[in-house]
Amino acid sequence: MMLLRAYLPILILLALLAAIPLVVTSNTALNFVVFVLIITLAAQGWNLLGGVGGQFSFGHAAFFGTGAYVSAILQYSYGVNAWAALGAGILSGAALGWIIGFLSFRAGLRGSYFALVTLAFAEVLRILANALPITGGAAGMLLKLNIGFGNLQFTSRGAFLWLALGFVAAGLLISRAIADSRFGAQLVAVRENEDAARALGVDVLAVKLKAITVSGALTAAAGCLYLQYFLYLDATIAYGVWISVEVLLAAMVGGRGLVLGPLVGAFTLHGVGDLTKQVAGGIPGIDLAVYGAVLILVVAFAPGGVLGLIHRLLSGLTRPRPAKEAQ
Partner 1 sequence: MYSFPILLEATLNGLLTGAVYALVALGLTLVYGVLHIINFAHGAFLTGAMFAVWAAFTFLGVDPYLAIPVLTLAFFALGYATQRFVIGPASHGDDGNILLVTLGLSIVIENGLLAVFRPDTRTIATNYAFDVVEAGPILISQARLFGFAGALVVAALLWLLLARTDTGKAIRAVAKEKLGASLVGIDVRHIYAVTFGLGCATLAVAACLLMPIFYVNPRVGQSFVLVAFTIVVLGGMGSIPGALVGGLFIGVVESLTGLFLGDSLGQIGIFIIFILVLLFRPSGLFGARA
Partner 2 sequence: MLEVKDITMRFGGLVAVGGASISVPQGSIVGLIGPNGAGKTTLFTVIAGFQKPTAGKVCFEGEDITAQPAHVRARLGIARTFQIVQPFAGLNVRENIAVGAYLRHARRADAYALADAVGHRLGLGADLDKPASSLTVAGRKRLELARALATAPKLLLLDEVLAGLNPSEIRDIIPVIHAIRDEGVTILMIEHVMQAVMNLCAHVHVLAQGQMIAQGTPQAVCADPQVIEAYLGKGAAARIQAQGAAHA
* Site for partner 1, rule CB under 8 A: 54, 56, 58, 103-104, 107-109, 111-113, 115-117, 119-121, 123-124, 127-128, 130-131, 138, 241, 245, 248, 252, 280, 283-289, 291-296, 299-300, 303, 321, 323-325
Decide which of partner 1, partner 2, none touches 88; Cβ closer than 5 to 8 Å per partner kind: none
Q: How far is the CB of 72 from partner 1 (least distance, A)?
A: 20
> Between 166 and 271, whose beta carbon lies closer to partner 1?
271
Task: Report helix angle 61-78 to 204-230, nearest 10.
Answer: 50
Q: Which of residues 155-184 bind partner 2 (CB under 8 A)?
A: 180-182
Write the single-letter amino acid at 186. Q
192 Cβ neighbours under 8 A, 6+ residues apart: 54, 324
> Between 27 and 327, whose beta carbon lies closer to partner 2?
327
> Between 126 and 157, whose beta carbon lies closer to partner 1?
126
Q: How far is the CB of 199 from partner 2 (least distance, A)?
A: 5
Alpha-helix runs per DSSP H in the chain: 2-23, 27-46, 61-78, 82-106, 111-131, 157-179, 182-192, 194-199, 204-230, 235-239, 241-255, 261-280, 286-301, 305-315
Decide which of partner 2, partner 1, none touches 124; Cβ closer than 5 to 8 Å per partner kind: partner 1
For the beta carbon of residue 44, count every other beta carbon within 10 angstroms. 32
Mark the segment that binds partner 2 (CB under 8 A) among 87-95, 99-107, 194-202, 232-240: 194-202
Write the single-letter amino acid at 120. A
> Between 24 and 185, whose beta carbon lies closer to partner 2?
185
Q: How far is the CB of 169 from partner 1 (least distance, A)?
A: 28
Mark the segment that binds partner 2 (CB under 8 A) among 45-53, 95-103, 167-175, 317-325: 317-325
- Return the sign of the alpha-carbon dihedral for residues 236, 241, 244, 246: negative
Q: Which of residues 196-225 bind partner 2 (CB under 8 A)?
A: 196-204
Q: Comparing C-alpha atoms, which of 95, 76, 75, 96 is closest to residue 85?
A: 75
193 lies in the binding site for partner 2 (CB under 8 A): yes
* C-alpha to C-alpha distance for 216 and 49, rounded to whole angstroms: 9
For the beta carbon of residue 66, count every other beta carbon within 10 angstroms. 27
* C-alpha to C-alpha distance for 244 and 295, rounded to whole angstroms: 14
